[in-house]
Amino acid sequence: MLLIECPWCGARDEPEFTYGGEPAVRPGPATEVGDAEWTGYLYLRGNEKGAHRELWCHSAGCGQWFVMERDTVTHATIAVVRR
Amino acid sequence: MTARRLAAGGRIDRTRSLAFTWDGVPLSGFAGDTVASALLAAGVRVVGRSFKYHRPRGLFGAWTEEPNAIVDVTLGEVEEPDARATVVELCAGVAARGVNGRPSVARDAYGVLDLAHRFLPAGFYYKTFLRDWPRREARIRAMAGLGRVAGTPDPRRFASRSAQCDVLVVGAGPAGLAAARAAAASGLSVIVADDRFIPGGSLHWRAATIDEQAGADWAAATVAALAAQGVRVMARTTVFGAYDHGAYGVLERAADPPAGWAAERLWTVRARRTVLAPGAIERPLVFPDNDRPGVMSADAVLHYLRVYAVRAGESAVVATNNDSAYEVALALHAAGTAVIVADLRPALPEAARAATAAGLRVMANTAVLGTIGRNGVRLVDLGPPDATSARAATMRVAADLVAVAGGWSPTVHLASQSGFRPRWDAARTAFVADTLRGDQHFIDAADIAGALEAGHAAGVAAAGALGRTVALAAPRTPPPAAAAPLRALWRVPIRGARQWVDLQNDVTADDIALAARENYASVEHLKRYTTLGMATDQGKTSNVNGLALLAEATLRTIPEVGTTTFRPPYTPVTLGAVAGLRHGRLYAPWRQLPAHAEHAALAAEMREYGGWMRPACYRRAGEDAAAAVQREAAAVRGGVGLFDASSLGKIAVAGPDAATFLNLMYYNEVATLKPGRIRYALLLQETGVVYDDGVVARLAPERYLLSPSSSHTQGVLAMLERWHQTEWPQLRVAFHDITAAWATFVLAGPAARAVLAPFTDIPLADDALPHMAVAEGRIRGIAGRIARVSFSGERSYEVSVPAGYGLALWQALLAAGAPHEITPYGVETSSLLRAEKGYILIGTDTDGMTLPDDIGMAASLRSKSVDFVGRRSLLMPEARRPDRRQFVGLLPADPATVPAVGAHAIERTADGGLRSLGWVTSAFHSPALGRSIALGMVQRGRALAAAGAVVELYHLGRITRARVCAPVFFDPTGERLRA
Amino acid sequence: MRYSAFSLLRQGLAGHAGWQQAWRSPPLQPRYDAVVVGGGGHGLAAAYYLARVHGVRRVAVLERGWLGGGNTGRNTTIVRSNYFFPESVALYDFALRQYEQLSEELNFNIMLSQRGMLCLGHSEHDMEMMARAVNAMQINGIDTELLDAAQVRAELPLANFTADARYPIHGGFVQRRGGIARHDAVAWGYARAADALGVDIVQNCEVLDFIITGGRIAGVRTSRGDVAAGAVGLSPSGHSGVLAAKAGFRLPITSYALQAMVSEPVKPVLHMVAMSWATGMYVSQSDKGELVFGAGLDLYPSYAQRGNLPTTQAIVAAMLEIFPAFRRLKMLRQWAGIVDVPWDYSPILGPSPVANLYLNCGWGTGGFKATPAGGYFLAHAMATGRHHPISAPFDLGRFSTGALIDEAAGAGIAH
């Protein structure tokens, strides 16, 4: 069970948090974005083994979204940043 | 049966005799016994049958490593299958039954299987039954399983707890107590968890003197001192799993829980440092017929003798490859058992001196070459360890006990679970874990002196890692005598005889050799092919012997073979305890409406809708649900109905940029909405799929109120927060879920306004509050809100008051509506009314593929210019295919028959098959139309509707017909909304 | 040596000394016509079909650890083809039909037990969705039946039929041809059959990188040296993203830990595979007597091959909510596999963005049941350079057009 360092509240147990996927830059404007660029944003993932940047929300706490870099093999937290 | 209980000694209470039954036979033991020790005292030899060959088996161990004594236990209403007799505390009235025997383990008809063992080697089932497996499977399955599971609910309660500490100490033997003592002395918070009934571990059966006290006394004194310092010492508590970031799964069993208390509690303990001091498990020796009842772990023999005052045999061979058995031999001898020691080592060690002095016969370079006896050992053959034939035996002795000491395997499970690969220590002949890794300190010691020293050091190190110092000396004990090295002999080289490695699953040394021959040479292949270590004892006594034999068979070293990865749980954990409080209503609590009691009083049929308990309809006497729905629907259209809509989501949105933000979120234009007005709007996912629909009310220029569907409120709120925080954080807007704060009732029907008018100061005239308008004001003097929206197609008012006033308002509206024959109506009726109007129900008429155009809402994509969520996806080729499924109405050819929801519209393919065009999503008998109606999603549905096409509907093999039409059956121009 | 009751009898009399290796442990050759990366069931099946169906002579399977040690050996052994969309039905029923004759074809008993798979419905809405699914399956030729509550009770007497059940049972649907198979045996059977056809199965051989020249794959760089290859097929289950990154492209895939667990063995009381839509749990009782069960994924990406305690608790609770009598049983083993979950929960098959490199990935939580199909269609693509018609809808290109095959969206069937 992860111990996650919420950048606003401090270390809390995993069940307080919601995983939110990899951060992505939303392409736009819609009328100028090609199909490939759009579906890349929608569907393609880095899915790194090792250091992985991901969005988390302290959903049962402060409700804030933040970015965490986490090792997907050891589950060690590498960095946590307020957006 | 032989009386084997000693007259004195042990930790049992001889003043409390406890009656119990074994396979129906009444027996008795003492308080402090386990079922196993009581059986041993009563002279019961056969306590189980092996899984595969149904061989008779006796007790081997004394604790969780026990492979054989698997029993079903009944005490009152509590039934536990597959318990280990060695860990079940005896209490009065317990009924224990052996498993896997028919009719009993003493006389098992399936025992004949053993005669065919030669044709049933490891993995035999992969090589035969290739054609007739279904038939064979039925036969094999009839013999599967060990215990019997009762079909009744388990009456026990289980609880879930959590705790944090600086240092968690696993194990309260000499090492664990020494560690806890040191860590606690530094002022840190410490939890000690130990799976036995009382702390102290082997100090209760292995002789020791610590700080000038007997070992057990030192343990008791240390535990008392720890408790005084605030250390939580938890007995009957197993740390069964190591998880991320210092979290451990811990199971605590209550000794004798008062009625209503939890029988077991599952703790999640988070520790900054952990000291792992779980001790070691004695390995068996592998020799021919080493599975007969009477062959026992030497350490277990000592355990039974000193803790339970039970002598395991009258006449014993103590077979050993190391020094630790000599204490056992001497103790047995002192208790009156005739003892012969067979030591595998070529020369007698120093440790043998005392035994020889005591008059025991001690033989070096001697192995057990075989045992004889039908349901237990009667005779034992001894001879040279390099014997290749049973005929090499030099001596046959009469003995009913073979105490085997094959060396020690440190309990490395938790370290391994944490990702550490145990290291083979050739000198110790064991897999060991490093002394420190990450936040875990692992204690690995060969004797009590070493355990005390290493334990203390680990406690000091754990404290040091947390910035504390320890001003306390290590416990003192006399230095141990120098130990002679162990001699590893993984099997006796006699061919043909069966030498058992995994006792419960019947895996022999030959099975391992066979697996190696067939190139199942990875340790994981071995395990899976032979089932070695897969039994309920999880290989605690068989693992290392199996690996060593695989290494021998494949001409590799043990480190080259490696070990399996240990996984939770360390010992089996009751499923009920794992679930804990997540059971029954607490599994997923449903929500109740503020006027729940009123609905109950009206005999509403309550059903769950998206986590809420809501009235489906209100049945009257003699009425079924379908009839109630028809009556209620007619009443709404004919007069006035009252509907509890409190579960409908209410999300307040406020801020200077509220309009800008919501316009980015919603598919429909909501920024131009005027204050006091309401608009129906869709919320899409970024993939363009319709996620939710609902009305958006603008209460003030910077204040909106959203009404997501009941089951989506949390999801919509989360979506708003996420998009705001991650994509448009610059917009000044905030959200608040106020659903639970308000009770909301819908008055619908031609008489709705007449009923409502006396209640409020809000002007209800149509020019003041037209359809799709909202106003705040007073309702019965309370600050509230009235929204003129309609999900029924009738004139309709949605009245909201603070939740605490909901019950009173409901009652008052019913009373005031009595002259108009006001009728409460439920969710099913509401669904019928909206179906007559062709309004979609999210999740019923739509699914995870539905795009706005599919439900006839294409306009926003053309008219809106902002990049709202999902916009770009609607421009994808797939979103613009002409053959998408579209929302349509369906008029069944037989107006008296309601088509099944889930029926498919089909077409015939050229090859005579069927192809689905879509499906029926809603279907009712419409009281307003006096006929059946349906809604559905059908490919090219709008074109079919325009052409008035007839389609076939398929349901479970039957075909009916329906005409495709526009999805609005009643009042298409909406006159009644304004009437 | 062919396996049979006769050979077992003969070997029994001879002390089992004559059994041959089930497969060799050959050295890695410098060049192969086809290299399959990943020695799980899918990869071994692909090698087998390359040799048997397509007559490809020099074939290698490269396995990082021990064969069958990934998700093949970590799943809950369920086989079924009760899917919603015709494309899925064609794919999964192809696999089930192969399974139905696989023991004889491979001369290795995979212990296919078509005991039936029953999905429980807990509300009228569930039953309507199930009717939609059952009709879709029947239209597509799959054996399914809609059951009422009494029929479910006859099949699953220990399910929670009490009046106050949190998830009352309104009915369900069953695929009688669904069931379980012995997962290890599938890998071993394919391995033995492929080996007999001359396939080199090389264990403890990790692919470190791809050798790509001019946009075409030329070989692979392994922990045991470089290998030239005519065609390379990826069958790496949870590690598809890692290998795709080495080949220079990204996939619409996220890898998660999926837990499974077994109870101690008890006398058989559960004779079907049972699944609940409301709690997501699935459970069967093995021929050893152990309950084998699972439910949802761990909640965040992981390559750790171990599950976390909160999810373990949730899975156990989900199973007990449907079968409360099992509260008294004990959890014996718990483990996790790494599953590569695509956006739409359907697999990704066929050509990749790199020429000569072919995909068989994205099977998510349901790869075991599709083992013969994954192998067959990967072999087809590697041997011919083209999709088989059944695998064509599962091309990676669907994520560029939006033509997803989203079973969960279509029918609410969890995977």
pLDDT tens digit string along B532-573?
999 999 999 999 999 999 999 999 999 999 888 899 999 999
The domain tally of chain B equals 7
| Residue B658 in domain | yes
One domain for residues C38 and C128? no
One domain for residues B438 and B504? no
Q: Could you give the percent of chain B with pLDDT greater than 90?
A: 95
Q: Which two tokens stand for residue B564?
A: 């399996």
Please list, residue by residue across B280-319, b when 16 or more beta carbons sit within 10 angstroms of its beta carbon and e when fewer do.
bbbbbbbbbbbbbbbbbbbbbbbbbbbbbbbbbbebbbbb
| Residue C359 in domain | yes
SS3 C192: helix
One domain for residues B186 and B146? no
Question: Nearest residue on chain A to B244, judged by CA atoms?
Answer: A1
One domain for residues B690 and B799? no
Check if the beta carbon of residue B174 is closer than 8 Å to that of residue B214.
no
* pLDDT value, residue B438: 86
One domain for residues B748 and B789? yes
In 10 A of CB B576, how many CB atoms?
25
One domain for residues C268 and C376? no
Write down which residue in C300, C327, C342 finishes a domain: C342
The domain tally of chain C equals 2
Integer angstrom CA distances of residue B901 from B859, B942, C1, C407 = 29, 20, 56, 19
Q: Which of B245, B274, B875 to mutate to test the interface with A (most CBs of A within 10 A)?
A: B245
Question: Is C252's CB within 8 Å of A72's CB?
Answer: no
Question: Is A2's CB within 8 Å of B871's CB?
Answer: no
State the residue for tokens 């004695």.
B282
One domain for residues C357 and C268? no
Please give the Cα distance from A26 to B866 (Å, whole number): 14
Average per-residue pLDDT for chain B: 96
One domain for residues C271 and C125? yes
Integer angstrom CA distances of residue B404 from B177, B333, B862, C124 = 28, 16, 84, 62
Q: Is the dihedral of CA C401, C406, C411, C412 positive or negative?
A: negative
Domain containing B524 — which CATH number?
A: 1.10.10.1100
B73: left (phi over 0), alpha (psi -120 to 50) or beta: beta
| Residue C7 in domain | no
* pLDDT value, residue C412: 45
The partner residue sitting opposite C252, judged by closest CB among A21, A35, A45, is: A45
| Residue C324 in domain | yes
What predicted TM-score, i.e. pTM, was given to this entire model?
Answer: 0.96
Q: Is the pLDDT of residue B196 over 60?
A: yes
Strand order in the sheet with B742-748: B734-737, B651-654, B703-707, B690-700, B677-684, B773-779, B782-788, B796-802, B742-748, B641-644, B823-824
Please give the Cα distance from B262 to B256 (Å, whole number): 10
Please give the Cα distance from B177 to B184 (Å, whole number): 10
- The model's pLDDT over A27-36, given as tens digits with 9 standing for 90+, comes to 999 999 999 9
| Residue B475 in domain | no
One domain for residues B301 and B260? no
Write down which residue in C342, C363, C393 finishes a domain: C342
One domain for residues B615 and B692? no
Q: What is the mean pLDDT of residues B460-488?
A: 95
Q: Could you give the percent of chain B with pLDDT greater than 70?
A: 100
Element (H, E) at B635: helix B625-638
Q: How far is B190 from chain A (nearest CA, A)?
A: 19
Q: Which two tokens stand for residue B59?
A: 């007790």
pLDDT values of chain C reduced to their tens digit, one per residue, 415 residues:
899 999 999 999 999 999 999 999 999 999 999 999 999 999 999 999 999 999 999 999 999 999 999 999 999 999 999 999 999 999 999 999 999 999 999 999 999 999 999 999 999 999 999 999 999 999 999 999 999 999 999 999 999 999 889 999 999 999 999 999 999 999 999 999 999 999 999 999 999 999 999 999 999 999 999 999 999 999 999 999 999 999 999 999 999 999 999 999 999 999 999 999 889 999 999 999 999 999 999 999 999 988 999 999 999 999 999 999 999 999 999 999 999 999 999 999 999 999 999 999 999 999 999 999 999 999 999 999 999 999 999 999 999 988 999 988 765 443 3
Question: Is B245's CB within 8 Å of A75's CB?
Answer: yes
One domain for residues B13 and B146? yes
The partner residue sitting opposite C301, judged by closest CB among A40, A72, A74, is: A72
Q: Is the dihedral of CA B420, B422, B423, B427 positive or negative?
A: positive
What secondary structure does DSSP assign to B282-313, as a single string?
Answer: EPPP--BTTTSTTEEEHHHHHHHHHHH-B---
C contacts of A49 (beta carbons < 8 Å): 239, 241-242, 255, 303
Q: How far is C252 from chain A (nearest CA, A)?
A: 4
One domain for residues B606 and B747? yes
Domain containing C130 — which CATH number?
A: 3.30.9.10
- Residue B3: pLDDT band (50, 70, 90) is low
Nearest Cα residue to B932 out of B907, B956, B953, B949: B953
Question: Is C400's CB within 8 Å of A36's CB?
Answer: yes
Question: Is C132's CB within 8 Å of B901's CB?
Answer: yes
One domain for residues B655 and B642? no
| Residue B862 in domain | no
Please give the Cα distance from B364 to B369 (Å, whole number): 14
Q: What type of residue sits at position B772? A: M
One domain for residues B633 and B682? no
CB-neighbour burial class of residue B8 (10 A; exposed 0-12, middle 13-18, buried 19+): exposed
One domain for residues C215 and C190? yes
In order of their start, the domains of chain A are 3-82 (3.30.2270.10)
Nearest Cα residue to C409 out of B843, B496, B46, B788: B843
Q: Which two tokens stand for residue C345?
A: 């929960």
Check if the beta carbon of residue C272 is closer than 8 Å to that of residue C284.
yes
* pLDDT value, residue C414: 36
| Residue C14 in domain | no
| Residue B449 in domain | yes
Nearest Cα residue to B844 out of B750, B711, B941: B711
Q: What is the mean pLDDT of residues B931-958?
A: 98
The partner residue sitting opposite A49, judged by closest CB among C303, C343, C399, is: C303
Q: How far is C218 from chain B (nearest CA, A)?
A: 31
The answer to whether B727 faces chain A, any CB pair under 8 Å, is yes
Domain containing B944 — which CATH number?
A: 2.40.30.110
C contacts of A12 (beta carbons < 8 Å): none
| Residue C198 in domain | yes
Check if the beta carbon of residue B435 is closer than 8 Å to that of residue B443.
yes
Check if the beta carbon of residue A53 is closer than 8 Å to that of residue A72.
no
- Full domain range(s) for residue B515: 490-561
Ramachandran angles phi, psi of C7, nearest 5°: -65, -35
Domain containing B446 — which CATH number?
A: 3.50.50.60
One domain for residues C328 and C389? no
One domain for residues C405 and C260? no
Check if the beta carbon of residue B58 is closer than 8 Å to that of residue B45.
yes
Check if the beta carbon of residue B28 is closer than 8 Å to that of residue B265.
no
| Residue B869 in domain | no
C contacts of A51 (beta carbons < 8 Å): none
- The model's pLDDT over B312-321, given as tens digits with 9 standing for 90+, comes to 999 999 999 9
One domain for residues C376 and C315? no
SS3 B668: coil
Domain containing C92 — which CATH number?
A: 3.50.50.60
One domain for residues B390 and B423? no
| Residue C15 in domain | no
Residue ranges of chain A whose CB lies within 8 Å of a chain C CB = 1-2, 14-15, 18-19, 21, 35-36, 39-40, 42-49, 52, 54, 70, 72-75
Question: Is A23's CB within 8 Å of B244's CB?
Answer: no
Question: Is C301's CB within 8 Å of A73's CB?
Answer: no
| Residue C196 in domain | yes
Please give the Cα distance from A26 to B849 (Å, whole number): 22
Check if the beta carbon of residue B293 is closer than 8 Å to that of residue B376.
yes
Surface of C (236-275) touching A: CB under 8 A: 239, 241-242, 245, 250-255
| Residue B569 in domain | no
β-strand partners of C210: C220
State the residue for tokens 């006091």.
B676
One domain for residues C244 and C359? yes
Question: Is A49's CB within 8 Å of C239's CB?
Answer: yes
Check if the beta carbon of residue C347 is closer than 8 Å to that of residue C253.
no
- Residue B1: pLDDT band (50, 70, 90) is very low
| Residue B676 in domain | yes
| Residue B577 in domain | no
The partner residue sitting opposite A2, judged by closest CB among B162, B244, B725, is: B244
* pLDDT value, residue B2: 47
One domain for residues B900 and B800? no
CA angle C177, C178, C179 (to 5 degrees): 120
C contacts of A47 (beta carbons < 8 Å): 241-242, 250-251, 253-255, 301, 340
- Full domain range(s) for residue C259: 117-177+255-342
One domain for residues C202 and C334? no
One domain for residues C348 and C337? no
- The model's pLDDT over B110-166, given as tens digits with 9 standing for 90+, comes to 999 999 999 999 999 999 999 999 999 999 999 999 999 999 888 999 999 999 999
One domain for residues C370 and C318? no
Write down which residue in C290, C313, C342 finishes a domain: C342
Q: How far is A67 from chain B (nearest CA, A)?
A: 10
Spell out the residues 6+ positions from residue B882 whose beta carbon is closer than 8 angstroms to its own. Answer: B940
Q: Is the pLDDT of residue B796 over 60?
A: yes
Q: Which two tokens stand for residue B343?
A: 């030591």
Residues in chain B: 979
Nearest Cα residue to B236 out of B264, B261, B259: B264
